[in-house]
Amino acid sequence: MSQSKSARAVLIEDNRLLWSEVPALKPEIGEVLIDNKASAVNRADLVQRQGSYPPPPGASEILGLECAGIVKSVGEGVTRCSVGDRVCALLSGGGYATEVVAPAGQVLPIPKGFSFTQAAALPEVFATAWLNLFMEARLQSGEYVLLHAGASGVGSAAIQLCRAFDVQAFVTVGNQSKLEFCIQLGAVNGIDRHKGKFVEQAQAWTQGKGFDVILDPVGGNYLKDNLRSLATDGRLVVIGLMGGATAEIPLAGMMVKRQRIIGSTLRARSIASKSMVMDSLKRNVWPLLEAGTVKPVIDKVIAIQEVEKAHSLVESNQTIGKVVLAIDGES
């Protein structure tokens, strides 16, 4: 990718986050250059900062998996958007910067009435929730779903999508205030993981059948209880490994109940695959956002120059929804 002039971005030096000058970008064939106004913090950013989650080959090493801003220029062959359009984008990296280049298929118009900071909280969590619940797990109206980390960005998006599509959603969370928030947002019920085990509630919550779908960012130490809580023909979608990367699978029960375990990541998918997810999001979720049926849940907006503060906040596990990074005071 050719570069000229200069821009600014958050760089990692000795595990410190520094707001630094970087070369400006130029879009290549099929790419869009965005004058970035906001990004958002995802837990993957914290893991990448620690050196455990490198970007896919060819992706920017700058942190940031989503952005919102104004199209500055477009590469050859791009017809999806035009210079001056207000857009948000799903990224493989590069969001913590004043300029961002994204494949055109991963760029969507900002929903009508949304600010840049609101729009920056949309791409990663709504794409993750929609992809894994409705595309991978093929969640249907009337089914029961368990959402671990219900008050997270992905969890808060998933609760609202379940409510909008007539799915009964239950959650696990880290404290009582988060549980109350999730229920207000549309969850039917849930449990503070420090006060009980979800597996003990599964049958009561689901009228004795178990969950049709479980969305799990925890992994390892939740696997056995997830499978015990899953219905016949149930689908477990594992999207994270906060609880470990290995576990024993009770194969006999899984076979008898015809259960499926689906491993899923968004970042490592091809541009074509991510573009398909974004197109589905625009068709199915963008109208709900513009109608006010669903909304981004934002815990706090912090200036990008205070990115260390933003990371500490997310790492504290005390947030509800997203922490957004505003660039140049934009909103």
pLDDT above 80: residue 4:
no
Task: State the residue for tokens 């986050």.
Answer: 17
Please list, in sequence order, all residues whose beta carbon lies within 8 angstroms of the beta carbon of residue 184, skipping any fewer than 6 positions away.
Answer: none
Please check whether residues 308 and 320 belong to one and the same domain. Answer: yes
Please check whether residues 132 and 257 belong to one and the same domain. Answer: yes
Alpha-carbon span 34 to 54, nearest angstrom: 23
Please check whether residues 101 and 183 belong to one and the same domain. Answer: no
What are the structure tokens assigned to 135, written together? 């595309």
Please check whether residues 244 and 300 belong to one and the same domain. Answer: no
pLDDT score of 245? 87
Q: Closest by alpha carbon to 164, among 130, 137, 215?
A: 130
What is the domain range of residue 40?
Answer: 3-122+296-326
In a domain, 283, yes or no: no
What is the DSSP pairing of strand 168-173 with strand 230-238?
unpaired
Number of domains in the chain: 2
Average pLDDT of every residue of the chain: 95
Q: Return the CATH number at 133.
A: 3.40.50.720
58-89 pLDDT per residue, tens:
999 999 999 999 999 999 999 999 999 999 99
232-257 pLDDT per residue, tens:
999 999 999 888 888 899 999 999 99
In a domain, 307, yes or no: yes
Q: Are the C-beta atoms of residues 212 and 234 closer than 8 Å to each other?
A: yes
pTM of the model: 0.95
Q: What percent of the chain has pLDDT over 90?
A: 93
254-300 pLDDT per residue, tens:
999 999 999 999 999 999 999 999 999 999 999 999 999 999 999 99
pLDDT above 70: residue 2:
no
Which of 263, 281, 306 is the endpoint of a domain?
A: 263
Please check whether residues 57 and 186 belong to one and the same domain. Answer: no
Please check whether residues 100 and 142 belong to one and the same domain. Answer: no
In a domain, 69, yes or no: yes
In a domain, 163, yes or no: yes
In a domain, 159, yes or no: yes
In a domain, 103, yes or no: yes
289-305 pLDDT per residue, tens:
999 999 999 999 999 99
In a domain, 269, yes or no: no
Which is more confidently placed, 167 or 15? 167
pLDDT score of 329? 56
